[in-house]
Chain A
Amino acid sequence: MAPLMFPAYRLAFGMLRNREEAEDAVQEAALSAWKHRETFRPGADPRPWFFAIVANRCRSTRRNRWSRLLRQAEPTGQSRPAPDVEGDLDLRRAVSRLRHDDRLALVLRFYVDLPYEEIATVLGISEAAARSRTQRAVRRLRPELGEPGEQI
Chain B
Amino acid sequence: MIDEDRLRARLQRALGYEPPSPGFGAQPLSKLAVGTSVHRNAEESRNSNLLALVAAVIALALVVTLVLGARALYRTQITPVRTGPHLTVSPATPVILFIDLAVVNRGNGTQIDGMTWDGQVSGEVYTIDIGAGPANSAGTLFVAFPDILDRSGRVVGELGGGPYAGPGVGAKFFGMFADDELHYCQVVPFFAPSASEVPATLQLVTPSATFGDSSVGDEARDVAQVGQISPNVNNVRVAACSVLGDRAVVVETDPTAGALVYQYWVVQLSTGRVLWTHDLRGGPVSTQVVASRDGQYVAEIDATGTTTIFGPNGSAVGHLTGSVEGFSWDGSEAVVDACPSGLSYCSYAQATVTRWRDGVVVWAGPHAQILAGSQPEPGGASLAIEIVDRAHPINGDTSGMSGYPTVLYVVSSEGQVLGQREVARMLGG
Contact, CB under 8 Å: B303 / A63: yes
With A20-B42, A110-B7, A110-B8 known as contacts, the answer to whether A39 contacts B304 (CB < 8 A) is no
Contact, CB under 8 Å: B258 / A64: no
Contact residues, B1-49 vs A (CB, 8 A): 1-2, 4, 7-8, 10-21, 24-26, 28-29, 31-32, 37, 39-40, 42-43, 46
**B-facing mask of A15-40, CB < 8 A → 1, else 0?**
00101111110111011101110111
Contact residues, B336-351 vs A (CB, 8 A): 342-345, 347
Contact, CB under 8 Å: B259 / A36: yes
Of B65-73, B118-126, B229-237, B292-300, the one contacting chain A is B229-237
Contact, CB under 8 Å: A36 / B258: yes
Residues of B within 8 A of A19 (CB): 18-21
**A-facing mask of B258-298, CB < 8 A → 1, else 0?**
11100000000000000000000000010000000000000
With A9-B24, A41-B231, A111-B15 known as contacts, the answer to whether A149 contacts B1 (CB < 8 A) is yes
Contact residues, B218-240 vs A (CB, 8 A): 231-235, 237
Residues of A within 8 A of B191 (CB): 41
Residues of A within 8 A of B169 (CB): 41-42
Contact of B39 among A23, A35, A57, A66 (CB under 8 A): A23
> Would you call A44 an interface residue if the criterion is a C-beta within 8 Å of the partner chain's C-beta atoms?
yes
CA distance A111 to B159 in the complex (A): 45
Residues of B within 8 A of A56 (CB): 254, 257, 259-260
Contact of B232 among A5, A44, A113 (CB under 8 A): A44
Contact residues, A48-83 vs B (CB, 8 A): 48-49, 52-53, 55-57, 60, 63-64, 66-67, 70-71, 75-79, 82
CA distance A35 to B345 in the complex (A): 13
Closest B residue, CB atoms, query A64:
B342
Contact, CB under 8 Å: B16 / A42: no
> Would you call B168 an interface residue if the criterion is a C-beta within 8 Å of the partner chain's C-beta atoms?
yes
Contact of B28 among A30, A41, A138 (CB under 8 A): A30
> Would you call B199 an interface residue if the criterion is a C-beta within 8 Å of the partner chain's C-beta atoms?
no
Contact, CB under 8 Å: B17 / A13: yes
CA distance A53 to B285 in the complex (A): 14
CA distance A70 to B31 in the complex (A): 27
Residues of B within 8 A of A14 (CB): 15
Instruction: Please tell me the number of chain B residues within 8 Å of chain A, measured between CB atoms.
Output: 59
Contact of A106 among B1, B11, B37, B172 (CB under 8 A): B11
Contact, CB under 8 Å: B21 / A17: no
Residues of B within 8 A of A66 (CB): 342
With A106-B11, A152-B7 known as contacts, the answer to whether A124 contacts B254 (CB < 8 A) is yes
CB distance from A90 to the nearest CB of B (A): 8
Contact residues, B309-335 vs A (CB, 8 A): none
CA distance A139 to B20 in the complex (A): 31
Contact of B259 among A1, A32, A78 (CB under 8 A): A32
Contact, CB under 8 Å: A67 / B43: yes
With A77-B18, A110-B7 known as contacts, the answer to whether A60 contacts B344 (CB < 8 A) is yes
With A10-B17, A28-B344, A77-B18 known as contacts, the answer to whether A41 contacts B168 (CB < 8 A) is yes
> Would you call B401 an interface residue if the criterion is a C-beta within 8 Å of the partner chain's C-beta atoms?
yes
With A71-B43, A91-B11 known as contacts, the answer to whether A52 contacts B257 (CB < 8 A) is yes
Contact, CB under 8 Å: B24 / A110: no
16 A-B pairs within 8 Å (CB atoms) are namely A9-B20, A23-B39, A26-B28, A28-B32, A31-B32, A34-B401, A40-B234, A41-B168, A41-B169, A48-B256, A49-B257, A64-B304, A88-B13, A124-B256, A145-B10, A147-B2
A interface list, Cβ under 8 A from B? 1-2, 5-6, 9-10, 13-14, 17, 19-24, 26-28, 30-32, 34-36, 38-45, 48-49, 52-53, 55-57, 60, 63-64, 66-67, 70-71, 75-79, 82, 87-89, 91-92, 95, 106-107, 110-111, 113, 121-124, 138, 145, 147, 149-152
B interface list, Cβ under 8 A from A? 1-2, 4, 7-8, 10-21, 24-26, 28-29, 31-32, 37, 39-40, 42-43, 46, 168-170, 172, 191, 231-235, 237, 253-260, 285, 303-304, 342-345, 347, 400-401
* 10 closest A-B pairs by CB: A20-B39, A5-B25, A52-B257, A52-B256, A44-B232, A42-B170, A91-B14, A88-B14, A124-B256, A39-B234
